[in-house]
Chains A and B, each alone.
Chain A
Amino acid sequence: MRMQFSVTATTPAIIAVWLLLWAQLLFAQVPPRPNPPKLVNDLAHILPDDREAALELKLVAYGDSTSTQIAVVTVESLGGDAPYNFAQEILEQWGVGQKDKDNGIVILVAPAERQTFISTGYGVESTLTDALSKRIIETAMIPNFKQGNYYEGIDQAVNAIFAVLSGQFTPETETGGNADAFVALFIFIIIILFIIIIIYSARKGGTGMGRTYSGRGVNNSGPVVIHWGDNDYGSFSGGFGSFGGFGGGSGGGGGAGGSW
């Protein structure tokens, strides 16, 4: 009886919400996640190619040393969506930033609508506050954008963000994962050594065969595991200069926008 009542009472509401969700889906047509992953996505073609590559290198290097991911996205159109929502959807759907730290930032520029927005992940919004984002937009981006200098505006904004964030996510936090791997490797080696010692002592006097076997085992385990560490970041042999992929960060709509 009661359940039936609540169902009938909420049916119109559910329909309304369905329509709303559909409307939102239609609105929030953010570009698909780039494949291969890139931090600088100049979909509106407003950045000179060489500058774009330089900016990408710079952001990848920053991401490698701090784990904070800053994605620059320029779009041809927002499709009628609000800039804050558009930028947040990109951040969320692409997963900018590390999953456990939510330290992603999206710099969105829509030249056709003359709108820009800096969207911050949950993990960085306490450092790169809305007020600071606003200030960066007003001092670094807008004046440059007004003269059509998109690259300069974005580059200066990126530098300002570096300055604001410096010290929050130190390289040490990122190598946390590697440190764990090293501890695991260390334990692994000790266990192997332990087994070898047991084999040795069991054989009492040690035949030649046991010796060569143990030597190979130790030699192999070193480089192999270090290789794993590289592969974790998804890039080929060391991966200098290429972006390893987005980390699955998320954000709650923090940041600020501006128009010019």
Chain B
Amino acid sequence: MKQLLQVTGLLLVMLTFNSCGYNRMVALDEEVKSAWSQVENAYQRRADLVPNLVATVKGVANFEQETLTKVIEARSKATGVTIDPTKITPDAIQKFQEAQNELSGALSRLLVSVEKYPELKANQNFLELQSQLEGTENRISVERKKFNETVQAYNTYVRKFPANIIAGMFGFQQKGYFEADQGAEKAPTVDFGK
């Protein structure tokens, strides 16, 4: 009798595993991770553009030093905040986003100041960098959107009954989203060129 109970218990556990989709959770989790790495790539791409941009702008006579320093500082701060892909918590995302937003803000201020320097606006090198930066902001926005979609699929799944029981047992916690804000969501901040 006892043995029978044990066997049925085991069977039940296995069935629940299947129907509560442990494997599906793992798959969704992996999708989120890969979407996250794309987000990071896009941000990294922007960070990589900054030194070139600063160097080009610097080449122009007496460009406002303060604006440049702010960009450089924001960049080093932004690249300093990374997320462990296994712990994409809402908290971690928020911190990451804040650091990146600072760089977005500093960059858009830089690009506004550039308006005052006609020689820069005629500089082929600068124009090239500008279109690259524009493209990078677009990429960031697209990758964030894709990331949010995968997180949404994951979170929805993990919270549904009975998957949530398995999720709780194995530590599949809810993941954080990117929220719309004045930062990366509005890529047109860089889109001043006409």
Contact = CB atoms under 8 A, between A and B. Distances in A.
Interface of A: 3, 6-7, 9-10, 13-14, 16-17, 20-21, 24, 82, 84-85, 88, 129-131, 133-134, 251-256, 259
Interface string B131-157: 110111011111101101100100100
B131 A131 contact: yes
Given A129-B132, A130-B131, A10 B139 contact: no
Contact of A254 (B139, B155, B188): B139
A82 B90 contact: no
Contact of B148 (A6, A21, A133, A254): A21
B141 A253 contact: yes
Given A17-B148, A131-B131, A255-B135, 10 more contacts: A6-B173, A13-B90, A13-B179, A14-B155, A16-B180, A17-B152, A130-B134, A253-B135, A254-B135, A256-B135
B187 A17 contact: no
Interface of B: 38, 42, 90, 128, 131-132, 134-136, 138-143, 145-146, 148-149, 152, 155, 168, 173-174, 176-177, 179-180, 187-188, 194
Contacts of A17: 148, 152, 177, 179
Contacts of B176: 10, 13
Contacts of B136: 130
A20 B142 CA distance: 14
Interface SS of chain B: helix, strand, loop or mixed? helix
Contacts of B174: 6-7, 10
Given A3-B168, A84-B138, A131 B132 contact: yes
B59 to A, nearest CB: 19
A252 B188 contact: no
A10 B90 contact: yes
Contact of A20 (B90, B141, B180, B188): B180
Contacts of A16: 179-180
A253 B142 contact: yes
B134 A256 contact: yes
A16 B152 CA distance: 12
B188 A253 contact: no
A28 to B, nearest CB: 9
B134 to A, nearest CB: 7
10 contacts: A10-B174, A13-B176, A13-B177, A14-B177, A20-B179, A21-B148, A84-B142, A253-B138, A253-B143, A254-B138
Given A17-B152, A130-B135, A252 B173 contact: no
Given A17-B152, A130-B131, A256-B134, A85 B141 contact: yes
B141 A134 contact: no
Nearest to B140: A253
Contacts of B38: 252
B50 to A, nearest CB: 16
Contacts of A131: 128, 131-132
Contacts of A254: 135, 138-139
A133 B132 CA distance: 10
B135 A82 contact: no
A255 B141 CA distance: 13
Nearest to A250: B146
A255 B56 CA distance: 22
